[in-house]
Structure 1
């Protein structure tokens, strides 16, 4: 076979919109041997009610 398994770390939105935290998570994933990291961003107002409580990073 000879094919190496590629490991993807799903960071998602756990960076809370903080670029420094995102870079820190990338470094930690790299140190753990991860090959790729995957992020998500979202626009909460497009998928939630305006009356839904928001997390601190969404304010």
Structure 2
């Protein structure tokens, strides 16, 4: 039986240096348990609030 273990906002492709996160294509990284645990990227945009509140997939500011 396929069960969702976790679901997190995630970008489709890593940002380019200096790129704002609002310009990225967002979706959900879903972790399923079905025999061997596996991940799947679901192209369904999270809300802006869900993106801001995400725990992972952070963009770190460039330091000079």
For normalisation by structure 2, the TM-score amounts to 0.28
> TM-score by structure 1 length?
0.29
Q: Which has the higher contact order (CA 8 A, sep 6+)?
A: 1
Give the structure with the higher percent strand: 2
More helix by share: 1
